[in-house]
């Protein structure tokens, strides 16, 4: 029987949830350690216009949050989400896949009405 991976949901002040799987959190922490990124740095999650379907996900690291960011902890990872992106990311699950077809972060977004084959572009 396959091991079930636990997911930790974090409720941000506006009541919107973002979930980061154990596997994704582990990969984020690994990248931070390998690149000597300080633990006070946050994972920037956001969306921007573009891509095949209208919006593209943004992932990166920021040393400081901006005044309009929501800051929270998701499975041991400090996360920054700007207020403009938060409605598009409400309920999202960030996961990490490492298989024969490739490896990378995946987004399971309940707000997406259409997605692209690349998995990094969506419409809401």
**Which CATH number does the domain housing residue 56 bear?**
2.60.300.12
Domain of residue 69 covers 13-117
CB neighbourhood size of 85 (10 A): 20
Note the pLDDT tens digit of each residue in 1-41: 333 333 343 334 444 578 899 999 999 999 999 999 998 89
Q: How many domains does the chain have?
A: 1
Prediction pTM value: 0.76
Residue 70: inside a domain, yes or no?
A: yes
Residue 1: inside a domain, yes or no?
A: no
C-alpha gyration radius of the chain: 14
Note the pLDDT tens digit of each residue in 70-117: 888 889 999 999 988 888 888 888 999 988 777 889 888 887 665 555
Residue 2: inside a domain, yes or no?
A: no
Q: Identify the CA nearest to 26 among candidates 34, 14, 18, 15.
A: 34
Residue 46: inside a domain, yes or no?
A: yes
Residue 6: inside a domain, yes or no?
A: no
């Amino acid at each position: 029987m396959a091991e079930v991976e636990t997911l930790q949901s974090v409720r941000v002040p506006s009541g919107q949830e973002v979930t980061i799987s154990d596997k994704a959190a582990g990969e984020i922490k690994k990248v931070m350690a390998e690149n000597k990124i300080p633990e006070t740095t946050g994972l920037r999650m956001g969306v921007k216009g573009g891509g095949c379907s209208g919006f593209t996900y943004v992932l990166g690291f920021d040393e400081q949050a901006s005044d309009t960011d929501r800051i929270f902890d998701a499975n041991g990872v400090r996360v920054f989400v700007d207020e403009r992106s938060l409605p598009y990311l409400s309920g999202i699950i960030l996961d990490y896949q490492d298989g024969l077809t490739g490896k990378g972060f995946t987004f399971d977004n309940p707000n997406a009405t259409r997605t692209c084959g690349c998995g990094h572009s969506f419409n809401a």
